[in-house]
Chain A
Amino acid sequence: MPRIKLATVLIAVLCLALGLAIATQVRRTNSGDSLADQRPQDLVVLLDGLQQREAALRKEIAEAEAALTRLRASGDTSAAALAEARRRADALAVLAGTAAAAGPGLEIEVTDPQGGVAPSDLLDAVQELRAAGAEAVQVGDVRIGVDSAFTGSTGEIVLDGVRLAAPLTVLAIGDPPTMAAALNIPGGVVDTVERAGGGVRITQRDRVDITALRTIRTPQYARPAG
């Protein structure tokens, strides 16, 4: 009887200890400090894995940074190329007459009360202005472009299909004194027009606004060669 009693007590004690151990272990596992009770070997393996991961991530960072630098550099060069292309497009637009232009220049008023001014006189005038460095020219309401042409007959001048009615205003952007001198040379444009019965009044201005535009003509026959 005492032996059974002893066994029962021992069973109770052991089961109590087991319950205690289970509760403690569950508590400890849930507390989250799982690294504290790991074996050194496992910790070494963990550390090794973390170090490898760190190395891989560092490599990734370096690659990403290199890519960033590369892209930034190419972004810079393409931005510069874009700005250059835009500058050239602006300059060409002024030359081709597709953009409005402003700057110092001349305002030339041509009167023709007797209808004696010939298309060639105006052509001479434009020619003289160009020779004197005019960068943009407008005759009447027509912008002079690379394909402008004076047609018609004396007193009935047509420019690019538009009939020009006197009095006529010619606007030119360029160096005002040079252009004025070019028009005023003896035997030049002013002389010719006055001989034909017309009048020319030249005004030098600090700012001339040329607002007439030309539409771009797509070449029908000419193709870029080379």
Chain B
Amino acid sequence: MIGIIALVVGVLVGLWLDPTVPEWVQPYLPIAVVAALDAVLGGLRARLDGIFDGKVFVVSFVSNVVIAALIVLLGDELGVGAQLSTAVVVVLGIRIFANAAAIRRHLFGA
């Protein structure tokens, strides 16, 4: 619950403050957002499954973001940044869909 409230507050604050993104973060921000969304949906699913653990959530969130950013960084260094970004987004997208499906089954029973 706290997470959702914080999320909404974050969106509002972001819209209100309109912070500037540092140059070096710019390529990684979209990927990091997708990775974090995956972690949040995973956490929501775990909570509905009744196996939510704050520590696991925090660790998975941070590691998701860091790993996604690292993969993109590595891709950029190797010259395949665009393709690796696509790969990361595809994989995370699939996971988001899977988590969303699980959540849907919990909420609607179908």
Contacts and interface: CB of A to CB of B under 8 A. Distances in A.
Interface centre among B11, B14, B79, B82, by most chain A C-beta atoms within 10 angstroms, is B14
B61 A14 contact: yes
B58 interface: yes
Nearest to B57: A11
B7 A23 contact: no
Given A21-B33, A41-B81, A15 B10 contact: yes
A24 interface: yes
A162 interface: no
Contact of B13 (A11, A20, A39): A20
Nearest to B16: A23
Contacts, number: 104
A3 B11 CA distance: 27
Interface residues of A, number: 27
B51 interface: no
Contacts of B30: 25
The A interface is mostly helix, strand or loop, or mixed, namely helix
Contacts of A8: 2, 54
A123 to B, nearest CB: 101
A11 B58 contact: yes
Interface in A1-48: 3-4, 7-8, 10-25, 27-28, 36-37, 39, 41-42
A21 B37 CA distance: 11
Contacts of A22: 10-11, 14, 33
Contact of B54 (A4, A17, A23, A28): A4
Contact of A10 (B7, B26, B33, B58): B58
Interface in B28-59: 29-30, 32-33, 36-37, 40, 43, 54-55, 57-58
B13 A19 contact: yes
B54 A19 contact: no
Contact of A11 (B9, B54, B79): B54
A201 to B, nearest CB: 106
Contacts of B62: 14
A148 to B, nearest CB: 93
Contacts of A25: 21, 29-30, 33
A31 to B, nearest CB: 10
B15 interface: yes
Q: Which 5 A-B pairs have the closest CB atoms?
A: A19-B10, A23-B14, A7-B54, A15-B6, A16-B10
